Amino acid sequence: MTETSNLDPRETTKFNDLSARWWDPEGEFRPLHDINGPRVDYIAERATLDGSRVLDVGCGGGLLCESLASRGAVVTGIDMAERALAVARLHLEQSGLQVDYRQATAESFAMEDGKAFDVVCCLEMLEHVPEPASVVEACAAMTRPGGQLFFSTINRSPLAWAGAIVGAEYLLGLLPRGTHRYDRLIKPSELASWLRSAGLEVLDIAGMDYNPFSRTVRVGTRPRINYLIHAERPA
């Protein structure tokens, strides 16, 4: 596993620049707010959260972290975007929740401070790093035997290019232009292969369909654009 070599400074700068608007449900992160509840439900249906030690890799402004903490999890969030972490810490003063935020890559945290977490989440992050397989390996290393892992990303397909990039970024303006690069999108088969190579068992692959007009989400469809993967580190 590499450390800083798996960091794209342009991606860190991008999310730093957007950090002040992270908690605005009508702003640039509107789709993230809309899909957050269904993502948490998916995790909660497959893993015990109350009292569990949970790690959120690529936590950004803390949206997922706070949702997991509100369900009783003991949450640590790591990210390299310093200003996004500052926003996440500031929002804790409003929510009254407790989350331990650290500035770190998955690889460095695994080697220096990472411990055996009950649940590790890495949602909407893998498509923003040069070596996503390295992040998967680090996540596996930070999960205790019998622990659960959850990943979400975007399929690399013509439909995903049309919907997640052209539609969402250029036609509807739901995301800032340049949020996603097509060459960094990940096929479910590729992600599943990286998980198995890291010694994990793939338990479920679920598509996540998002309707930006009704702002509704369906989980459990075919993984045509957005999808979730649930994996387990064997005991």
When pLDDT is cut at 50, 70 and 90, the band that residue 27 belongs to is confident
Q: What is the mean predicted confidence (pLDDT) over 191-213?
A: 94
Q: How many CB atoms lie within 10 A of CB 61?
A: 29
Question: Residue ranges of the alpha helices (H) in the chain?
Answer: 9-17, 30-46, 63-69, 82-95, 106-112, 132-141, 158-160, 188-197
DSSP structure string for 1-36: --SGGG--HHHHHHHHHTGGGTT-TTSTTHHHHHHH
CATH annotation of 4-232? 3.40.50.150
Strands 143-154 and 226-232: antiparallel
Looking at residue 184, its pLDDT comes to 82
pLDDT tens string 50-72 = 999 999 999 999 999 999 999 99
Ordered by start, the domain boundaries in the chain are: 4-232
When pLDDT is cut at 50, 70 and 90, the band that residue 1 belongs to is very low
Looking at residue 2, its pLDDT comes to 44
- The pTM score is 0.87
Looking at residue 141, its pLDDT comes to 96
SS3 161: helix
| Cα–Cα distance for residue pair 88/80, rounded to 1 Å | 13
CB 174 within 8 A of CB 30: yes
pLDDT tens string 108-156 = 999 987 789 999 999 999 988 999 999 999 999 999 999 999 999 999 9
**Token pair in block for residue 18:** 């957007």
- Residue 42 reports pLDDT greater than 60: yes
